[in-house]
Structure 1
Amino acid sequence: MSLGRKIYKGPRSDDDQLSDRQTSEEGLFSERDGFSKYQRLILGLGLTCGLMLISAAVLGICCAKAKDFDMSDLAASPLFAELNFYRNQSHIIKAKVEAQASLIKERASHLQIKQEVNLKRAFVDKLQGKIETLKQDVKILQSNKTTLEKNCGWCLPKWIFHKRSCYYFSDEDVSSRKNWTDSRDYCISKGGDLLVINNLEEQVLIRTHLSRGSSSHVWWMNGFWIGLTDVATQGVWVWVNNVTETSTVYWRMGQPSRSGPQTGNCVAFLGETISTWYNADCSQHRLNWICEKEARKTDAV
């Protein structure tokens, strides 16, 4: 209430005071209601401004991001290149892993193959041993077969059959060899005698079957006694069947010898040519020997 309106009106009754109080309270309540509306208006405006600020901030961020994404191709190229690089790297890593897996598989396969090869090699070695044993058996069988075929049941074992005669070639070591006389005794004990060569065919036959081994460095110690001597008359060579030998074609060069340690009155056989005869000491020299006997069925075993 303004001061111009404050005019004294005298004593007031209770009713007037009550009425003034009511009027004052109504004005007070009216002011309160007006203040509440302003607050609401201000609060609404504040909220609106806040929302507008938030929207502006969001729009600013979005624009900034949109600007970043709206880079030129030149600026994006390194990123795409790096992206492609990593993609290629992933392919390389994948290929490496696959290669390692394949290598492990190949190594396992190689190990298995190696084990199989070792087993097969052991099996082959075992078979090779059996083959060698079988070869020896075959050799023995062939030797027996050859002996049987050659003997045809006409000769003793280890004797060679040819036409109507059987031949034996001794194969003794040096300590068991004999002189001419003992060699002949052996042949006689088997029903034969020392070899008598009747013709060129027989000469070739004996040379073919003669052992090629050399047990002594002295050549004439490797020969074989045959049944030819000049004991009765020097220079007249006679076979054990009393047939005189007149041919000289079978003598080795320089034979018969009449000087030196090789000389003697008995004949031995040695050589790979037609000329194979040489003379040696009948009693002192010890050689192998060749026997000959007539083939007979009763000698077969």
Structure 2
Amino acid sequence: MEKVSFVRNAPQVFFNSAGYFKSRYKTFGKAVYGSNRWVLLCLGLLNVVLLIVAVSLGIKCAKVKESSIHVTHSSATQPTSEYLHDNHSNVIEAGENLKKTLETAIKNHTLLKEQIEQKKSINDENQRQVETLRTEKTNLQANISALEGTCGKCLPGWNILNSSCYFFSYLESSAVKKNWADSRADCVRRGADLVVIDTPEEQKFVSDSIQNMKTTTNRWGNGFWIGITDVHSEGTWTWINNVTMLDRRYWMDGEPNNRGQKEDCGVILYSSISPWKTMFDGPCHYPYHWVCKMDSR
């Protein structure tokens, strides 16, 4: 059977028996000259060449790709390193700034604390001064009231009756008590003397005045020294103005009794039973409050 070619006028390449290259065109429907062995050999050589070229191109591409990756990595790493370095520097700088800010805040806090302590000390001193002024104000008001009550005829803290002024030591200090001699010395220092009771009105005035001047529940402990004694002659009671007391109506019942042979000085206290019977004799060394008397101005 005759071979048929569907490629019209296709060039045919082959080698003759002498090894020379020949070419001719095969006419449609004609057989092809040449040997298949030489064609296969050429194709094999061509494949080898192509393989070598392909391998060379692959190696070349691999090197190019590796170089490209290295360049890309270096390009990507360098900005990151620089960014981290810059950020580290910024963090250190921010830390230093915060440290300085904290130190400044601590200094300001210490200064503020010192200022607060100073102001507190000043405030405490002002409070003490206020308390002192309040005390002085109270004393001045008391003095004004006393002056108004005595119309300026008696010293501050003294009470007036008729033309005489009276000082009750309890009003100056409820805690201070003295014996008879020291009480009289205090009155003399004030320009007065222990009270001498001349009239029933005066007796009642003194008795009523000491009604609420009490320092103990013991009745006998709330007495006041007055200016009468029998120290020079037992049983003869004489006022400090050298007037002998003949009327004994001001003595409490059973008084004076010279109990224990040692009661030689006169004491007065408040009696709810009778304002007239308020006197008794007591030991002169015993501590009591006292009543001073002086003429008004």
How high is the TM-score relative to the length of structure 1? 0.48
Which structure would you say has the larger RCO, counting Cα contacts within 8 Å and 6 or more residues apart? 1
- Higher percent of residues as strand: 2
Higher helix share goes to which structure?
Answer: 1
